[in-house]
């Protein structure tokens, strides 16, 4: 008797700041948007077999407010993602570890203007890791205070 597992799996690819500088309707900051592509695959026993298409999303890098591209916008998203123009904005995520209180802060620092944006403050380690993962930050510079 054999057991087979099947389903749909998504693989993400994060593209850094791309396209024109736009003002976010939520936080009113002006930066290039971050683009993410999710490739959907049908799998059998965790082996991707059938390509089911891709979804494109765009986010504000500061507040992470964004949307999924609908059918008409997918061509535009593909064009922007393939563009090899270097980014004009330079936002760098930083982690701050408060050893005395065992809490963490996550901030974004604008290298061009020196402005900082707090993303999360006074978080437990598990919340800090979950926030980094949800914002697609793999390795960031962490400072102990």
pLDDT tens track of the chain, all 145 residues? 677 788 888 899 998 888 889 999 999 999 999 999 999 999 888 888 999 999 999 999 999 999 999 888 888 888 888 888 888 888 899 999 999 999 999 999 988 888 999 999 999 999 999 999 999 888 888 888 8
Which position has the token pair 């089911």? 52
Which strands form 103-110's sheet, in the order they lie side by side? 116-123, 103-110, 91-98, 141-144
- How far is Cα 12 from Cα 61, in angstroms, rounded to an integer? 17
Give the pLDDT score at 138.
84
Give the pLDDT score at 1.
62
How many CB atoms sit inside 10 A of residue 8's CB?
11
Coil, strand, or helix at residue 3?
Answer: coil
- How far is Cα 75 from Cα 78, in angstroms, rounded to an integer? 5
Give the pLDDT score at 113.
86
Give the pLDDT score at 90.
87
Give the pLDDT score at 84.
85
């Amino acid at each position: 008797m054999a057991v087979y597992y099947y389903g749909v799996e998504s693989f993400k690819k994060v593209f850094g700041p791309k396209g024109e500088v736009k003002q976010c309707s939520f936080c009113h900051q002006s930066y290039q948007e971050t683009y993410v592509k999710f490739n959907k695959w049908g799998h059998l026993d965790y082996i991707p077999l059938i390509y089911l298409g891709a979804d494109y999303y765009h986010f504000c890098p500061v507040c992470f407010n964004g949307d999924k591209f609908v059918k008409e916008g997918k061509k535009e998203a593909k064009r922007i993602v393939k563009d090899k123009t270097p980014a004009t904005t330079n936002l760098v995520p930083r982690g701050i570890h408060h050893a005395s209180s065992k809490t963490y802060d996550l901030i974004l620092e604008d290298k061009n203007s020196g402005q900082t944006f707090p993303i999360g403050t006074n978080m437990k380690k598990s919340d800090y890791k979950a926030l980094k993962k949800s914002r697609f930050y793999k390795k960031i510079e962490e400072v102990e205070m």
